[in-house]
Amino acid sequence: MSLFNFIKTLNYGDIPEHTRYLVNISLLDILGVMAGARDSETSCNIRNYAAQYYPALEGMNTRLMFDGRPVNPLGAAWAGGFTADSLDAHEGHFTSKGHAGATVVPALFALADACRDQGREISGEEFLTALAIGYETGLRAGVALMDTAAEYHASGAFSGLGVVCAAARLLDLDEETFLHALGIAEYFGPRCPMMRLVDFPSMLRDAHGAGGYAGVNAVFMAQCGITGAPAETVQQDKINYCWNDLGKRWEIDAQYFKPWPVCRWAQPSLTAATAMMSQHPEINGGNVEHVRVETFHESMRLQGHFPANADEAQYGLAFPLAALISRGQVGPEEVTGDAIRAEDILQVSRLIEIVEADDLSERFPEEILSRVTIQLKDGQTLTSPITQAKGDPATAMTEQEFLDKFRLLAGVSFSAQQQDQIISVVQNLPSAEQCSELFDLVMQA
């Protein structure tokens, strides 16, 4: 099946039941991340940027998510992607070594809310079908780019193609316009050097804002007659294997989810430490003598013992692990704000040693694994087994764990009643005749 035919002919009921569940839970998960990030410095700055430099246009008005101010959809895509990216708790994908949802979800909201402004109502099933298309094609584009590009790039380099595919369904693009939009999104996709960001964390993160902008911009340019085809990561013969089983196998099913708002490469260590703390309640900040983390090369590069800001805290390994040991949890309040300078966390962070283990590096990126040894002041030395991160397909989070995570993240900005409303509307979205209630909930301050 061609990509265009997949986009045009996919019915919500054609999507396997478990995949539909994952699309729905991915939506809730991203909304929780964005709600948790609403008051972060990055989110506030980028929303102000969008409101100033991308004002709403007559007949093309959308609202900033978790803000409400009217802007141009291009600005909303910039801001939404940055906000979702600013709290590092969104889902990801192994073989693309990246993420789709933090780009696709806010960009699709920007386009769908613009449709609302033009008087077009969108059903829940229609929105979720477009979202599934955006996820699936974005992830496949990521695999294709990872397999053909020489450099390790940020997710925004490929996720904009998922935005184009979702938009093609939502806006009913013809095939010629779609192919040019796809090519434009690929050509202008931000090939950002990801390891520079790992080594020098900043608000730029994984380029989801840039990817969202690239995708929405490509659609608008193609609609105005700008040519850009072909998109090589979709139409080259040598990457047919990334696309030839569309509708038969779902990359969405291979996504992982993060229990904690830190880089995925740090999560195996947190998973190992959580299990150790459950089995040995004597592990706490006051009783730790030394912690040794053995992990794969990319994870070892995180380090991050003494972050200067929230970006460095979330792109580190030592600091969030220290927060877990000293406070028993890692939520937004442990990796932002005053926690960055909290002595109880820093005291443990000083005791953490992070080293590369060749055997674990050889298994990356198919597996991300770590091994943790904790030496206590009472003389005990405890070592975890080689540990896979919680939230992988083989170590999946339960629905209750997703709800708990949503409340932990969204609870820093929203009341329990508001949280309940969002959860209920998302859970019932497949049967909703229109999405206006969801839009109004997530487009308010």
DSSP string, 252-306: GGGEE--SSSS-GGGHHHHHHHHHHHHH-TT-STTTEEEEEEEE-HHHHTT--SS
pLDDT for 2-42, tens place per residue?
999 999 999 999 999 999 999 999 999 999 999 999 999 99
Q: What is the pLDDT of residue 202?
A: 87
Least confident of 137-151, 191-205, 269-283, 398-412: 191-205
Q: What is the pLDDT of residue 413?
A: 87
Q: Are 58 and 72 in contact (CB under 8 A)?
A: no
Is the pLDDT assigned to residue 247 strictly greater than 90?
A: yes
Q: How many helices (H) and strands (E) does the chain have?
A: 20, 9
CATH superfamily of 3-258+406-442: 2-methylcitrate dehydratase PrpD (1.10.4100.10)
Read off the pLDDT band of 198 (50, 70, 90). Answer: confident
pLDDT for 104-132, tens place per residue?
999 999 999 999 989 999 999 999 999 99
Q: How many residues does the chain have?
A: 445
- The residue written with tokens 């850009």 in the block is 228
Closest to 155 in 3D by CA, of 107, 112, 223, 113: 107
What are the beta bridge partners of residue 294?
355, 371
Strands (E), 9-150: 62-63, 70-71, 92-93
* Separation CA 170–CA 120 (nearest Å): 11
Please give the torsion angle defined by the CA atoms of residues 443, 169, 75 and 417, in that order, rounded to the nearest 10 degrees. Answer: 10
Q: What is the pLDDT of residue 58?
A: 83
Closest to 26 in 3D by CA, of 102, 82, 81, 85: 102
Look over the chain and give the mean of its residue pLDDT values, rounded to a whole number.
94
* Separation CA 320–CA 309 (nearest Å): 13
Question: What value does the mean pLDDT take over residues 312-333?
Answer: 93
Question: What value does the mean pLDDT take over residues 335-360?
Answer: 94
Q: What is the pLDDT of residue 385?
A: 97
pLDDT for 397-441, tens place per residue?
999 999 999 999 999 889 999 999 999 999 999 999 999 999 999
Q: What is the pLDDT of residue 284?
A: 93
What top-level class would CATH report for the domain 264-390? alpha beta
Which residue spans of the chain are classified as CATH 1.10.4100.10?
A: 3-258+406-442
Question: What value does the mean pLDDT take over residues 330-334?
Answer: 90
Which residue spans of the chain are classified as CATH 3.30.1330.120?
A: 264-390
Q: What is the pLDDT of residue 252?
A: 97
Q: Are 108 and 131 in contact (CB under 8 A)?
A: yes
Tell me the residue type at 267.
Q
User: How many other CB atoms are there within 10 angstroms of residue 187's CB atom?
Assistant: 13
Is the pLDDT assigned to residue 388 strictly greater than 90?
A: yes
Helix (H) or strand (E) holding 370: strand 369-376
Quote the pTM value.
0.91
| Burial of 336 from C-beta contacts in 10 A (0-12 / 13-18 / 19+) | buried
